[in-house]
Amino acid sequence: MYEEIIHDLMESGYGCVDNWLSAEQTEHLRKHLLERYHEDAFKRAGIGNKFNLTLADEVRKDTIFWLDRNSMTDTEHFFFDKLSHFIGYLNRTCFTGIADYEFHYAVYEKGAFYKKHVDRFNNDDKRRFSLVYYLTENWKDGDGGELCIYGQNQSIIQPKGGRFVFFESTLEHEVLLSNTQRLSLTGWLKLR
């Protein structure tokens, strides 16, 4: 699985695999996300980092919840243990020097989107890779919210639950208009 992602990453700037976690684990993350969401723990996402954060309705319309390593469920721990293992492999085989990561859950309600952007901030170039683990249940054609990556070619990725996408944070990308509730766990692998 790691080889497949890394091969695709080298070839086209992004890699994508399905069933990164088991269906039960994915279901658990989805449930936990929704619990937090219904407790009103999510906040409107902005653009920029803590030094220049602004809300921009015309750019993005998702809400997010940052994960805190000190209060995670077993499945969340499993996700990050597996991710750490993958990062170790990536660092050994590709000399990527990933030293840290940060993750948030994201909810796009019907009508939400995130216009074309890059994930690396102007005032902080530590974000090396962007990663999304989709949690939407039963995504189908017409539900929208596809991820569009503008690499050498334009690639459209359907945000199906269980799918794991990994791409260079310098690549332009966009979340197309969502026609239904779209759920994900999204994060960045960072240099020291």
Strands of 172-175's sheet in order across: 114-117, 172-175, 147-150, 154-157
CB of 7 to ligand OGA, least distance (A): 21
Could you tell which of Mn ion, ligand OGA, none binds residue 25, using a CB distance below 5 to 8 A set by kind? none
- Burial level of 105, CB count in 10 A (0-12/13-18/19+)? buried
The answer to the question of residue 174 lying near Mn ion (CB under 5 A) is: no
The answer to the question of residue 112 lying near ligand OGA (CB under 6 A) is: no
The smaller minimum CB distance to ligand OGA, of residues 86 and 114, is found at: 114
The answer to the question of residue 135 lying near ligand OGA (CB under 6 A) is: no
Which of 9, 135, 147, 185 is in the footprint of ligand OGA by CB under 6 A? Answer: 147
The answer to the question of residue 119 lying near Mn ion (CB under 5 A) is: yes
61-100 mask for ligand OGA (x: CB under 6 A)?
Answer: ----------------------------------------
Helix runs in the chain, H state only:
2-12, 23-38, 74-94
**Collapsing DSSP states into helix, strand and coil, what is residue 77?**
helix
**Total of residues contacting ligand OGA (CB under 6 A):** 10
Q: How far apart are CA 185 and CA 58, in angstroms?
A: 22
**Contact status, residue 97 vs residue 126, Cβ threshold 8 Å:** no
Q: How far apart are CA 111 and CA 104, in angstroms?
A: 20
- Summarize as ranges the residues that interact with ligand OGA (CB under 6 A): 106, 114, 119, 132, 147, 159, 173, 175, 184, 186
- Summarize as ranges the residues that interact with Mn ion (CB under 5 A): 119
